[in-house]
Amino acid sequence: MAKAQWGLNPDILRTIFYTVVEPTILYAAGAWGSIAARVYAKKRLDSVTRAFAIKISKAHRTVSLISSATMARILPLDLRLSEQLELYEIKRGKPMSQLPGRELQIRVHPSTLPHPARRRRWEFSWVTEAEQIETSEAWNYYTDGSKIEGKVGAAVSVWEGDEEIQHASFRLENYCTVFQAEMMALHKATDMVLKSNRTATIHSDSRAALQAVSNPNTLNPIAVEIRGKIEAAKEKGRPVQLKWIKAHVGLAGNERADELAKQAALHNKRAPAYDKFPISYAKKTIRALTIEKWQNRYETAEQGAGTRLFFDSVRTSNKVMGKIVSSNIIAQMLTGHGGFKQYLHRFKLANDPFCPCDGSSEETVTHILIECTRFENERWQCEMNTDTRLTQRSLKQLMADDKTRGHLLKFSLKVLKAAARANGSTAL
């Protein structure tokens, strides 16, 4: 289905890897993931990773796991296995070392919800203009959550007619999400409704939060508490209406809640009103640690020197390769595995590894791009276009820069193809 010169394109192969291969192999990782550190298991997992990485990157089959996985933008399966195991243990209650004393926000158990026959969906209406705001006896509660400069806050502004009569604001831990802030703002609003003696309409500009609250089958712990408080208010004869309000269209209550939420995020020094971390934060933290492990392998591995010539980190490689259409000639350039005499001589396909330009320097990708006198004119043109002298150090800079990458690739592919043809290579 896929070879270096033909077959499925890299994006399709990467999709197959992420949606079929990886989930299949990582199934039930929580039960057996601890074996990822064993040499035998790692070799088996690396074999699968490398096979797909080579196909995705369109590289020669002699390319190492380090280079092929870096170019293919996939993580080795043993690292993914460790990720899955760590995430499973956190969901089971294992504390995160980065957040000592903090708990994961977990879903409530379905058995704690009311009987299905007693559950009902609450519909919420939409408000897009100030004229649609009711100014009757009901108080209007405006809620909002905000994340600014890495800090999180939430607020409630209570209005009677055209005047604000009450407000409340608080902050959440910095690792909390905007969704959690929006939910906690609704939670605070229902608390305030229960303490008042008036009917209420709660306005929020977060449709996701309102949908979570209106869904009778929700397992979000904050949403479950909000539903309970609204039911309690109804039993006391103070029914609560929920309305979605369009943000930043000049509605005074919504703008005031937004202002209060931002102020709380930036300036509130009190203890956070909510400190449970979301599963998204756990995933993000675990992935950051995985990237560090992958980077360490990338830097210290004996293989992959050809790829390290162009990328100093796996993050840079992932960013750059996402903007390049993978092909076999690009893989040859980034690995040194191709129609170059130094490589061909390794497999007895060339009598010697030396470049025809002087008969003493090994013909490698580095030599062809930086030193070979056969391509002085092309090299000079590339240097003029990029305003940079071609050296081993500058190759990384030119590849990382969106403005110079095109000129470097144009020059590199042209001279590498010429060198490979001169050696009789047909793998182009």
| Inside any domain, residue 311 | no
| Inside any domain, residue 332 | no
Based on the domain organization, do 245 and 130 belong to the same domain? yes
Based on the domain organization, do 121 and 257 belong to the same domain? yes
Domain that holds residue 28: 1-103+277-302
Whether 124 and 186 have beta carbons less than 8 Å apart is answered as no
Beta-ladder partners of 148: 151
Six-digit token string for 241: 């209406």
pLDDT for 428: 57
Q: List C-alpha distances in Å: 290 to 83, 197, 373.
A: 7, 53, 43
Based on the domain organization, do 17 and 76 belong to the same domain? yes
Based on the domain organization, do 125 and 53 belong to the same domain? no
| Inside any domain, residue 181 | yes
Based on the domain organization, do 155 and 46 belong to the same domain? no
Whether 390 and 370 have beta carbons less than 8 Å apart is answered as yes
| Inside any domain, residue 310 | no
**End-of-domain residue from the set 237, 258, 276:** 276
User: Strands (DSSP E) along 186-293, which ranges?
Assistant: 200-204, 240-245
Based on the domain organization, do 95 and 204 belong to the same domain? no
List pLDDT tens digits, range 44-71: 999 999 999 999 999 999 999 999 999 9
| Inside any domain, residue 10 | yes
User: CA torsion sign, 367 to 402 to 407 to 7?
Assistant: positive
| Inside any domain, residue 343 | yes
pLDDT, one tens digit for every residue, the chain (428 residues): 888 778 888 999 999 999 999 999 999 999 998 888 899 999 999 999 999 999 999 999 999 999 999 999 999 999 999 999 999 999 998 999 888 889 999 999 999 998 988 888 888 888 766 555 655 667 999 999 999 999 999 999 999 888 999 999 999 999 999 999 999 999 999 999 998 888 899 999 999 999 999 999 999 999 999 999 999 998 888 889 999 988 877 788 899 999 999 999 999 999 999 999 999 999 999 999 999 999 999 999 999 999 999 999 999 999 999 999 889 999 999 999 999 999 999 999 999 999 999 889 999 999 999 999 999 999 999 999 999 999 999 999 999 999 999 999 999 999 999 999 998 887 65
Q: Supply φ then ψ for residue 270, to 5 degrees.
A: -75, 165
| Inside any domain, residue 327 | no
Six-digit token string for 354: 């030396």
Any idea what the CATH number is for the domain that residue 250 is in?
A: 3.30.420.10
Six-digit token string for 217: 């089958």
Based on the domain organization, do 160 and 99 belong to the same domain? no
Based on the domain organization, do 271 and 154 belong to the same domain? yes
Based on the domain organization, do 243 and 156 belong to the same domain? yes
Based on the domain organization, do 66 and 119 belong to the same domain? no
- For 45, counting Cβ atoms within 10 Å of its Cβ (0-12 exposed, 13-18 middle, 19+ buried), the class is buried
Based on the domain organization, do 262 and 116 belong to the same domain? yes
Beta-ladder partners of 144: 155
3-state secondary structure of 196: coil
Based on the domain organization, do 344 and 410 belong to the same domain? yes
| Inside any domain, residue 323 | no
Six-digit token string for 207: 């449709």
List pLDDT tens digits, range 372-428: 999 999 999 999 999 999 999 999 999 999 999 999 999 999 999 999 999 888 765
Domain count, the chain: 3
